[in-house]
Structure 1
Amino acid sequence: MLPSTRVTRHPLPPSQPTPTLLRPTPPRPRLLRPAPPRPAPTNRRDPSVADPDRIGRASAFLASGTIVSRVLGFVKAIVLAAAIGVVGSTSADAFAVANGLPNTVYVIVAGGVLSAVLVPQIVRASTHTDGGSAYINKLLTLALTVIGAATVLATALAPVLTWIYAGSNTEILPLAVAFAWWCLPQIFFYGLYTLLGEVLNARRSFGPFTWVPVLNNVVALIGLVIFGILFGFDPDGTRAIDDWTPGMVAVLAGSATLGIVVQAVVLFWFWRRVGLRYRPDFRWRGVGLGAAGRMAGWTFGMLLLTTFAGIVQTQVVLLASGEGASVAAIDNAWLVFMLPHSVITVSIATAYFTRMSEHAHAGDLDRVRDDLSSAVRGVSVILVLAAVVLMVVAYPFGAVFQPGLTLASALGNVIIAFAIGLVGFSILFVVQRTFYALGDTRTPFFFTLFQVIVFTVAALSCILLPLEWTAVGIALSTTLAGTAQLVLALVLLRRQLHRLDGRRIAVSLGRDLAAAVLPVIAGVVLLVLLGGTTEDGFAVSNRVGAIVSMAIIGAVMAALYFGVLWALRSPELRGFAEPLVARVRRR
């Protein structure tokens, strides 16, 4: 289950993936210039060797913008839940389907293709005499032409696309189509944001791509507040489909699209600040676009597979719409699930990805293997804690969106089912990026095909479950299929790298899991004491109690976890912590 690029279910900036399986995440800021030819050994330190302090600083910089955007994203999701509900809300499910369509189409047309081929191609193009500017203009012109045509076509076919995803529930279909007319123009601006931001990253201007999604969240949040003031809030999701007017649809879905527009267009201003000028160039030969197209072919096939899986998922889970957790609940659970992945995994893996591309381009597989091992161990040391904390505080997290144990537990059970696979999901993200660094998009297609088959069989079997457990079954199907995919991907990657530093990774992961035992026990005890398992308990009866309870439980679990790891002399934890400790001591 590769991380996806679905970015705005509510709508959130392109830093928010969604549960429609396997879609590669849009490119994030790249931090390192192409490595020069490796000199003969000397007594001086080779600058191309991974520097934990440098990686830590780079990851922290990337994470800062993501954290701010995620905080606003959670606030926005809470306001959305207050406006149209979550569990049992047909309105919320209709909006979730429609607001997911734009990035479904975008990912098929360009999203994963750009993610898989753009960075390596820019790294290679930077060696050209013009610094890659010709490639940038040609790529931008080609991509915007294709994405613009796709946007017009998709908007014209809004009823058809909506039916493909929501045909199993005819009750919500008319409202979902009405939302889709307003949401589908987002496709073009997703592409514009990704392209403009990636070029800025290649020119070592990382801040804009990381921080402008905050504007998206602010605009969309203002739109939700206006909607609630004008038309009333409906936290229980009791508003009937027939109660929606064209004005209500325009305010809710239109503000979602406006946020994406602002996020993309503002990057032109940053282009000017770094001296870039876009000049349309329709001469698409001569800068390696043919090679990029061949690489993209396999990625495109992979995206078609995952789109099929996404259709199966949505059609099955919509059977529970109005009765229990459905599409909107899946989206909110995925939002919670993806927070640690976005802040930790994407930041750490991104800091290694360009380095991997450089080493792979130089044919240095030993260093690619070292990069893979370091990234996996660095990600796992944090993600193990994140996974167990999410499982313990799942019910309070559910109460943040809809207070009361009944509704909170319906959402919390979906969060738990996703969280079980968090560590594997994040490791898979690193493994996939390693294949891309090696210039191999063919192999990911085949292990994605395997995953889609496993998921489809498991998801269809969820039809047999009681409606209140359908969404939980879908989440568990995602975890099961992703775990199977990870195993196969590791086997295939080992053939290319000859070995995977498996012993060191296994020892590190085992140490992390052992360190999590005491925090889990303490967290469960605190959850019970705070009333997280009773209807009127402090941890689930209201939003303030839920947030306070999560803060207490999370802080205690984190302190115990890192304390045990420090006592066990975890080299991964010390690699991140010691530079910070040394800096504090110097001050």
Structure 2
Amino acid sequence: MAGIGRASAFLASGTMVSRVLGFIKAILIARTIGQVGVSGDAFATANILPNTIFTIIAGGVLSAILVPQIVKATVHADRGAAYINKLLTITLSVLAATTLVAMAAAPLLIKLWASSYGPEQAALATVFALWCLPQLFFYGLYSMLGEILNAHKIFGPFTWSPALNNVVAIAGLFVFIGMFGADSQGLRTASEWSPMMVAVLAGSATLGVAAQALILFRYWKVLGLRFRPDFAWRGVGLAETGKLAGWSFAMIMVTTAAGIVQSRVVSAASGPDNPSIFALQNAWLIFMLPHSVLAVSLTTAYFTRMAEHARALDYDKLKLDVSAALRNVSLMIVASAAILFTVAFPFGFLFTGSPSQAIGIGFVIIAFVVGLVPFCFLFVLQRTFYALGDTRTPFFFTVFQAVLFSVLAAGCLLLDKSVIGFGVALATSIAGTAQAFVAFFLLRRRLRGLDVQQIVNSMAIFTFSAIPATIVGVVSMLLMGGMNTGGWAFSSPITAIISMIIASGVTGGVYLLFLWILRARELATITAPFAKIVRRLRRA
């Protein structure tokens, strides 16, 4: 057990280090080329293409379907070497071909994702894309090599190698700043970019992804594996894989279509002082922090029990799992939403040197935060359907969300360019909230009831506690000038961080105080670990 605990801590630390470095990289990119402006949006559009295309062609298949086949093959006398060589040859062949096609189609992809760009910005985005699209090959290689190592119970490299990616990319950004200077307010026009500037910025981003993948080959020596291309692909099981991946692939396509709608609408706002594609990407990164750190970890802890109870057809216990997961996740996510609402403007300032731009980005963050709790609710509900072996139902409520979002986002084109980004973020929250309600209704019908009353009671307590906490936090931020472009909180990144720490502490403290006054029983989830430490100290 001690060994498992140490291994878990090692993996968790790798994830945390990678996230911290990723956040630093995002802030540094924004400070280097501008959170708002033609340069930042052009680079953001190009840099998201390889990840999106990889997700479409292989993302879900590798982790959910091919990995179990790798695990089965490891029991063979050759430890699965023959199967792995075939599978890796297939993967690399498909990825190489797809990468070359994507690079040839770069102008069309930019037109599809950002049809509102002018000729110069579209040309800049296309050149960025030619440097960024090779990431597609290395994302696939990283996933494949990492899953092979995981199947052989070597977990550390897969978790820690993204940190290397971020280190390389950050180093590239410092080289760029040293050679060409920083443009934190995004004033550099598309015509001012030289081929060398593009190569240093986008090339270092791709070099980071390549390093993240290639470093994993180093650990094959531990397994005694050697990669030898094997084009005899019969018997690998591609037909069966296609059947299993059907609904997951369809859901990915629907989500991608909605993403293209979002990109096309938001690109219409690209320009000086208007939050557009790059601003929304970073606002979403901030939005995802509490979900990634809190909701995912808690839900993962419940998922095993959900799967066990679903397999045993013990729906009464499964309902209790769902209720407990929703309530315990919401306890901390409601607090996170209150804190992000309070610190949104200084948070935005970290990504730009302009207080006025920070206000615009802050409103985008707030629009996303409106949907944070339903988003995390949805994550729990989706995992419950997966525990039941149902990928079909999530596809249909994802279609509902995508259609609703697309209609709302298209309506944002009627807005002034300065608020299109805010409108699209709010449309995301509205559609996600509606999706969560639909998913809850369908799951309740599937399980023939859920503990609705207890969930509603707990949510009422959390919401009532969050209201005074948010008010006190906002007042503290006002006193520090965090909502005034000339205020102390906008004096420098350091003052912005200090104001965020103070406001977060005040907001969180008041929230916990009201939870204690209202006797929220879920509070034990937070206090239990600290209570154990206190008891141990007393015994000592």
User: Scaled by the length of structure 2, what TM-score is found?
Assistant: 0.89
Residue deviations 1:229-253 (CA, integer Å, cap 9, x gap) = 0011111111111111111101000
- Tell me if structure 1 keeps the 8 A contact 2:115–2:267: no
- Paired position in structure 1 for 2:130: 181
The worse-fitting range, judged by mean Cα deviation, of 184-193 and 287-296 is: 287-296
1:159 to 107, 112, 122: 107
Find the aligned partners of 1:158 and 1:281 in 2 and give their Cα distance.
30
- Paired position in structure 2 for 1:541: 491
Amino acid at match of 2:30: A
1:147 to 90, 95, 102: 95
Find the aligned partners of 1:372 and 1:142 in 2 and give their Cα distance.
40
Higher helix fraction (1 or 2): 2
Residue deviations 1:361-417 (CA, integer Å, cap 9, x gap) = 555545544443333333222111111111111111111112443111100000000
Q: 1:326 to 1:271 in 2, by over 3 A?
A: same
Residue deviations 1:18-45 (CA, integer Å, cap 9, x gap) = xxxxxxxxxxxxxx9xxxxxxxxxxxxx
Amino acid at match of 2:177: G
Q: Displacement of 1:337 after TM fit?
A: 0.9
Q: 1:567 to 1:207 in 2, by over 3 A?
A: farther
Q: Equivalences for 1:362-373 in 2 at 5 Å?
A: 363-373=313-323
Find the aligned partners of 1:513 and 1:113 in 2 and give their Cα distance.
39
- Paired position in structure 2 for 1:447: 397
Residue deviations 1:241-273 (CA, integer Å, cap 9, x gap) = 111111110100011111111112222334544
The worse-fitting range, judged by mean Cα deviation, of 77-86 and 389-398 is: 77-86
Find the aligned partners of 1:248 and 1:560 in 2 and give their Cα distance.
48
- Paired position in structure 2 for 1:239: 188
Q: Displacement of 1:564 after TM fit?
A: 3.2
- Tell me if structure 1 keeps the 8 A contact 2:35–2:352: yes
- Paired position in structure 2 for 1:296: 245
Residue deviations 1:488-532 (CA, integer Å, cap 9, x gap) = 122222333333333333333333222222311210110110011
Amino acid at match of 1:528: L
- Paired position in structure 1 for 2:53: 105
Q: Displacement of 1:177 after TM fit?
A: 0.4
Structure 1 gaps, min length 5: 1-31, 33-54
Q: Does 1:396 align with 2:312?
A: no
Find the aligned partners of 1:386 and 1:539 in 2 and give their Cα distance.
20
Relative contact order: is structure 1 or structure 2 higher (C-alpha 8 Å, sep ≥ 6)?
1
- Tell me if structure 2 keeps the 8 A contact 1:404–1:541: no
- Paired position in structure 2 for 1:44: none
Find the aligned partners of 1:90 and 1:380 in 2 and give their Cα distance.
38
Q: Equivalences for 1:158-307 in 2 at 5 Å?
A: 158-170=106-118, 171-273=120-222, 290-307=239-256
Find the aligned partners of 2:251 and 2:202 in 1 and give their Cα distance.
29
- Tell me if structure 2 keeps the 8 A contact 1:296–1:441: no
Residue deviations 1:84-109 (CA, integer Å, cap 9, x gap) = 1112x101110010001111111111
- Paired position in structure 2 for 1:436: 386
Amino acid at match of 2:17: V
Q: Indicate the SS of the match to 1:235.
A: coil
Q: Displacement of 1:197 after TM fit?
A: 2.8
- Tell me if structure 2 keeps the 8 A contact 1:566–1:574: no
Q: Displacement of 1:283 after TM fit?
A: 6.4
Amino acid at match of 1:546: A
- Tell me if structure 2 keeps the 8 A contact 1:404–1:536: no
- Paired position in structure 1 for 2:35: 86
Structure 2 gaps, min length 5: none
Q: Does 1:491 align with 2:433?
A: no
- Tell me if structure 1 keeps the 8 A contact 2:73–2:83: no
Alignment RMSD (CA, Å):
3.1
2:275 to 284, 308, 325: 325
Residue deviations 1:453-507 (CA, integer Å, cap 9, x gap) = 1011100100111110000000001111111111112222233333333333333
- Paired position in structure 1 for 2:426: 476
Find the aligned partners of 2:495 and 2:229 in 1 and give their Cα distance.
55
Find the aligned partners of 2:368 and 2:162 in 1 and give their Cα distance.
25
Find the aligned partners of 1:511 and 1:245 in 2 and give their Cα distance.
56
- Paired position in structure 1 for 2:26: 77
Find the aligned partners of 2:526 and 2:83 in 1 and give their Cα distance.
37
Find the aligned partners of 2:194 and 2:434 in 1 and give their Cα distance.
46
Amino acid at match of 1:386: S
- Tell me if structure 2 keeps the 8 A contact 1:337–1:415: yes
Residue deviations 1:288-323 (CA, integer Å, cap 9, x gap) = 654442231122222222222112111111111114
Find the aligned partners of 1:526 and 1:117 in 2 and give their Cα distance.
50
- Tell me if structure 2 keeps the 8 A contact 1:66–1:343: no
